[in-house]
Amino acid sequence: MLPGHLSTAPSGFDRLLYYSYINFQSIATVQKIITEILTTPGVTFARDARDLLIDCCVEFITLISSEANEIAEKEAKKTIAPDHIDKALRELGFPEYVQEVLTVAGEHKEQLKVRLSL
């Protein structure tokens, strides 16, 4: 399961394609955030600053995703759940992010319900 689903990664060459796809999605998402949310009128990011921010964000997403994937695999689960992200953040030393991540995940779930009901 690739698009839109957090799943355990396949093996071999498919794993390389999977991580390339995830990195592409991550880069596109971070670029959108910079463009729509972080940029204020009259203020722009220098290209090298934007690229550095994107690289840092993608690395962080990859780190958390990889750790959550390992946790899911240890539990013999095929899908990464919010609980796996929670555990990954805590194990990697980011416990202060857990509540905000779970709150945003809940908001996202509610938005999906609304979209699906339309």
CA dihedral (92, 83, 98, 112) positive or negative = positive
Domain boundaries, the chain: 12-117
Per-residue pLDDT band for 92 (boundaries 50, 70, 90) equals very high
Residues 102 and 86 sit within 8 Å (Cβ to Cβ): yes
Query: Mean of the per-residue pLDDT values for the chain?
Result: 80
Class of 12-117 per CATH?
mainly alpha
Residues 31 and 52 sit within 8 Å (Cβ to Cβ): no
Token readout for 8 is: 């355990």
Token readout for 51 is: 């690229």
The torsion of the CA quartet 16, 58, 92, 103, rounded to 10 degrees, works out to: -120
DSSP 71: H
Mean pLDDT on 30-57: 80
Per-residue pLDDT band for 6 (boundaries 50, 70, 90) equals very low
Which residues sit opposite 79 in a β-bridge? Answer: 7
Mean pLDDT on 2-13: 46
